[in-house]
Amino acid sequence: MSENKQLSDIGAIKGIKQFIVVDNAGQVIKSRMEHTEKMAEMVFECGKLFFSIGKKNFTHAVFKRTCGNDFLIFPVGNQYIGMIKQKNIKTFTLIDSVKNFLADLT
């Protein structure tokens, strides 16, 4: 799928350390993340829960970590992207970059 091919370029965004893409059945579409299975399950379960509250208005979730490598989830169509932020970039800067990237996909 061309969307997946483009989506896989998300790792090139400045500030993303690792990323994973899962579909709405919990299957891993692409992973550049350690502990793929565990993280895929988390992205899928959290994405599904937050989507159930906001439906298409759910834009993103941030899991703040004391180490600074925050974890972010974005819904994209019927998939979810999970990513680990590099310490040296502000969370809101990365959110804006990802939103811009995703807007260009559609």
Partner 1 sequence: MIIFCEDCGEKNQVTAGQLKTGRAIFTCRVCGYANCFAFDSGPTARQTDQDLKQILDKQIKKSQTLLGCFICDRRYEILINRMPASLPQKDVLILGRCVCQGHQHAAVAIDDLSETWIQISDKAILVFKNSHNLFLVLVGQGPVFGENLISDETRYAFQCFTPQS
Task: Let me know: does 72 contact 87? Beta carbons within 8 Å.
Answer: no
Strand partners, 80: 22, 75
Tell me: does residue 23 bind partner 1 (CB under 8 A): no
Output 14 or 99, the one with its CB closest to partner 1.
99
Output 8 or 91, the one with its CB closest to partner 1.
91
CA atoms within 13 A on the CB side of 84: 16
Tell me: does residue 34 bind partner 1 (CB under 8 A): no
Tell me: does residue 14 bind partner 1 (CB under 8 A): no
Tell me: does residue 92 bind partner 1 (CB under 8 A): yes
Tell me: does residue 93 bind partner 1 (CB under 8 A): no
